[in-house]
Amino acid sequence: MVPRVPPFDITHFDLYRTLPYVFTITDETAFAQVNSSDKGCSHHLIDYIAMLSPLVFTQSEQTWTADEKECAKCVLGLR
pLDDT tens digit sequence for 19-73: 677 788 888 999 999 887 877 776 888 999 999 999 999 999 999 999 999 989 9
Which residues, other chains included, contact 9 with Cβ-Cβ below 8 Å and sequence gap of 6+?
15, 16
Contact 50, 57 (CB under 8 A): yes
2 in a structural domain = no
Considering the entire predicted model, what is its pTM? 0.70
27 in a structural domain = yes
Number of domains in the chain: 1
23 in a structural domain = yes
pLDDT confidence of residue 51 = 92
Q: Give the confidence band of 9 by pLDDT, cuts at 50, 70, 90.
A: low
Contact 6, 16 (CB under 8 A): yes
pLDDT confidence of residue 31 = 94
pLDDT confidence of residue 17 = 64
Q: Which domain holds residue 52?
A: 8-78
